[in-house]
Amino acid sequence: MTGVIDHPSSPEEFAHLARELVETPGVMPTVHGVVESAIHAVPCTWAAVVVTDDVHQRPARMLAANDSELVRVIGGIAVGVGASPGIVAFDEARTVCCPDLEHEEQFRHYAEEMVAHTRVRAVISIPLVLRGATTGVMTVYADRPHAFDRDAAARAHVLAEHAAIAIDAARVEDAAENLEVALLRSRTIGAAMGILIERHKLTVDEAFDRLRVASQNANRKLADIAAELVETGTADGL
C-alpha cells in the first residue's frame, strides 16, 4: 500500500484508508495492507492479521505480520498455554484487551510467557466479523504498557471493520478469478479432446485418457498439454 495515513482521525481519512484496502488486489496483499495500516494508523509497534476458519489450526491458513519471527514465538506461547487474546477474540467474537501484560490476570500464564520471551507489553485482539461470521483476527502489540489509549483502540476497531470488508471482497474476487481460470482450462481440455476425437476417431474417454497419459509421461499438467495441442496442433507424447 502507498500513502498510509498516520493517526487518521476524520471520516475522510478513514474513507481513504478503506478505499486503499478494498482496491488492493488479492487476499494476501490485502492482509499485508491491513498490517501496514495498523502500524501507522493505530499506531502500534507490531501487528498481525490471521484469516482462517479455525484459529486453532496450526499453521494458520493466511497470516501476515510485520515481524514474522515474533509472531512465531507468540503463536508458540499461545499453543503452549492454551489461551491467548487472539484465540478468545476469535472464539467469542469479541475484542480482548491486555493493557499491561506485567499485571495481567485473565491471561496470566500467557502474559508471564510473553513478558519472559518477548518485548510485547500491551495487546489488543479484534475479531474480523462480517455477516455474523468471524473470518479472522487482527492483533496489535506495543512494547510498553498502556500504549493504547481510547482513541488508539477506537482506530483499531474502525480499521478491523474496514479490514473485514476488504478481505472478504478480495476473497470473492480471488474465487471469481479461480473459477474463470478453471472454466478456461476446462474449455481448453474440451477443445483438445475434440481435436483428438476428430483426428484419431476416438471416444471421449479414449481422448481424455491420451491426454492423461501424455501428462504423466511428460510430467506436465494436463491443462498445459491440452493448451499446447490446441495452440500448435501437436504436443509431446501425443
d(CA 53, CA 208): 36
Instruction: Give me the count of residues in the chain.
Output: 238
User: From the centroid of its chain, how far is CA 78?
Assistant: 20
Q: Burial level of 219, CB count in 10 A (0-12/13-18/19+)?
A: exposed
Assign residue 62 a region: left if phi > 0, alpha if psi is -120 to 50, beta otherwise?
beta
CATH 1.10.10.10, the chain: domain bounds: 176-232
CB count within 10 Å of CB 92 equals: 11
CB count within 10 Å of CB 121 equals: 22
d(CA 1, CA 14): 14
Amino acid 110: pLDDT: 97
Greatest C-alpha distance within the chain:
79
Is the domain spanning 176-232 CATH 3.20.20.150? The answer is no
CATH 3.30.450.40, the chain: domain bounds: 11-173
Tens of pLDDT, residue by residue, the chain (238 residues): 555 656 665 666 766 676 777 677 778 888 999 999 999 889 999 999 999 888 777 667 789 999 999 999 999 999 999 999 999 999 999 999 999 999 999 999 999 999 999 999 999 999 999 888 999 999 999 999 999 999 999 999 999 998 998 888 887 776 776 676 777 788 888 898 999 998 989 888 888 888 888 888 888 888 888 888 888 988 877 7
Amino acid 95: pLDDT: 96
DSSP state of 202: -
pTM over 0.85: no
Is the domain spanning 11-173 CATH 3.30.450.40? The answer is yes
CB count within 10 Å of CB 187 equals: 12
In the sheet with 62-65, reading across from the earlier edge strand, the strands are 62-65, 46-51, 133-142, 122-130, 96-98
Backbone Cα Rg of the chain? 24
